Amino acid sequence: MSRELAIRGVTRFISGVVMFAVMLLWPAGSWGYWNAWLLMGVLFIPILVPGIVMLIHSPTLLRKRLEGKEKEKQQRWVVALSGVMFIASFVVAGFNFRFAWATLPDWVTWIGVAIFLLSYVLYAEVMRENAYLSRTIEIQQGQRVIDTGLYSIVRHPMYSATILMFLSIPLILSSIISFVIMLVYIPIIAIRIKNEERILEDGLRGYKEYKQRVKYKIIPFVW
């Protein structure tokens, strides 16, 4: 086990928790924003376990995920816009709690938790099916087209899971306004997919034929 990698992983994890806490609890003006604590629990606890597993059994994969950066200029813009969307959504959710602008009933929060956890199950299945999965858009050595499991239904099941997760977050935070802000992710991910498919068509053998077999990108029979 690499001590340097472990320190980097722990630092990244702790900084993520602190960042989320600041973005949610500072505008909320209270430690009693229970929805924020609930979100951080369902988000960070499931992340911690696979992180430890990767550190012990697959440090190369963990290092790749920690160091991964987009090379395409367009994708860097996509990442930046997604970051702005997240910050705006979280800060607005905090203020929404403080001033009770447009809150949702508690049962909606728990539906949001169920959808969020479902997205984690989909993530796990995608990671099991696709060993070439990466945070960045790239063609890896020896990569082949994956067309089984979820990939036989839609071409980008990872993004299907991501949309479910992102749209469930405002439900957990009990903020209608944040939900509207999160809808911006749909055109953002559409831009990313268009660029990603161009790269895959150019560099991954058999991807054009795969597109002909699997018609839908994210949502079966819709998109």
User: Is CATH 1.20.120.1630 the classification given to domain 3-213?
Assistant: yes
Per-residue pLDDT of 156-213, as tens digits, reads 998 999 999 999 999 999 999 999 999 999 998 898 888 888 888 888 788 888 888 9
* Pick from 21-35, 65-79, 141-155, 185-199: least confident: 65-79
* Pick from 32-36, 116-120, 125-129: least confident: 125-129
pLDDT > 70? residue 61: no
Average pLDDT, the chain: 85
User: pLDDT class for 74, splitting at 50, 70, 90?
Assistant: low
Give pLDDT, residue 164: 94
Q: Domain segments of the chain: what residues?
A: 3-213
| Residue 138, number of CB atoms within 10 A of its CB | 15
Helix 73-99 / helix 3-28 crossing angle, nearest 10 deg = 40
Q: How far is CA 154 from the centre of its chain?
A: 17
How far lies 15's CA from each of 33, 90, 158, 214, in Å? 20, 16, 25, 40
User: pLDDT class for 45, splitting at 50, 70, 90?
Assistant: confident
Per-residue pLDDT of 21-43, as tens digits, reads 999 999 999 999 999 999 999 98
Q: Rounding to the nearest 10 degrees, give the CA dihedral for residues 14, 33, 40, 185.
A: -110
Tokens of 216: 């839908």
Measure the CA angle with vertex 86, ends 81 and 90; round to 5°.
150
Give pLDDT, residue 67: 61
pTM, rounded to two decimals = 0.85
Give pLDDT, residue 35: 96
Give pLDDT, residue 136: 66
